[in-house]
Copies of this chain bind each other. A is one copy, B any other.
Amino acid sequence: MLVTLSDVAQLAGVSPSTVSRVVNNNGYVSEAIAKRVMDAVAELDYRPNVVARSFRSKTTMTIGVVVSDLTNSYFMDALGGIEEVLSPEGYLLLIASSNNVVSRELQYCLEFDHRRVDGTILASAGASPAKLSTVFRKDSRVVLIDRMIDGAGFDCVLDDNESGVNQLVEYLVEQGHQTFGVVSGPLSISAGSERVDAFERALARAGYDVRPEWKWIGEFTDEYGYGAGQLLAALQEKPSAVFCANNALAQGLLLSLNDAGIRVPDDVSVVSYGTLANGKLFRTTVTCVEQPARETGRAGARLLLERIRGNDEPYQVLRIPPRLSLGESVRRIESLRTNR
């Protein structure tokens, strides 16, 4: 019913093989024949059947990307970087958002495997290595971004969380802060544990710590951030600075503080790991670690490309250094000395 290679071959008076060579631009084809074929293609309005091609050639030129939250600008930026690298190479992206639900994440990865993607880029919501290994085959090409999974045995590109957090703490201490709170997603995710650990370690070096009752560990969502903000607002005694381990948390926290009538930075200072989405309109007014999202995406895509092209060296972990971006969400504490 639809025009096939053979139809074109017949009209051009050549073999299907030759038409295939022309449309794929590989193998030896003479100028004259190529032109004859292309004319036939145009005349019949031939559309290559990519499904048949993929079936035969066992390569789909498709990359699956699973992120944990598509509405988060970090992942959108990373996606941009991925596309930037993969699109010119002829790959199409299959994009899915797990919405921070691990089971959905696994489900998408499995679906992608069934659809025979050439590789998968995964920003995990916290899948275990065990679960992951049931989903992927031993020869699956997978690159993790933003969140590392120990023991999964995949390439990984992520922030140098330690460096980012250190810059943040340095700045906070410099500004005179002495009491600190933390809001984070699950510590089972590297983005959680690494940032929180680094935060506490950096504080320790400066002679401070985080009081247990000022630690809120939940999900990497603005909803959880909002809830944490409510708890914070209700506290009699508050930390002078609160560290949010990602931008969604910061967003929720700031909104809830605003709703509760707590002013930032007058009443409490807030810093975020990750840029706030709305910085564009209202300028970046939150002091934060500016994540190299796009570069992370690019690096992940490049790593995956190498794997597809046969690189079978041991997997590697790439750390990309972020930089501090100063906003107006941190108060300078001049002289006040609290006894601790």
Residues of chain A having any CB pair with chain B under 8 Å = 47-52, 54-55, 60, 70-71, 76, 92-95, 111, 113-116, 137, 222, 251, 254-255, 276-278, 280-282
Which residue of chain B is the closest to A255 with respect to CB atoms? Answer: B281
- Between A47, A51, A70, A114, the greatest number of chain B beta carbons within 10 A of the residue's beta carbon is seen for A51
Residues of B within 8 A of A70 (CB): 76
In the complex, the answer to whether B280 meets A255 with C-beta atoms within 8 Å is yes
Residues of B within 8 A of A52 (CB): 55
In the complex, the answer to whether B282 meets A114 with C-beta atoms within 8 Å is no
Task: Offer 15 A-B interface pairs, CB within 8 angstroms, sorted by A.
Answer: A47-B113, A48-B114, A49-B55, A50-B114, A50-B115, A51-B51, A51-B54, A70-B76, A222-B280, A251-B281, A255-B281, A277-B277, A278-B278, A278-B282, A282-B282
Which residue of chain B is the closest to A70 with respect to CB atoms? Answer: B76
Q: A71 touches which one: B76, B92, B111 (CB < 8 A)?
A: B76
Residues of B within 8 A of A54 (CB): 51, 55
Residues of B within 8 A of A113 (CB): 47
Cα A76 to Cα B52 in complex, Å, equals: 32
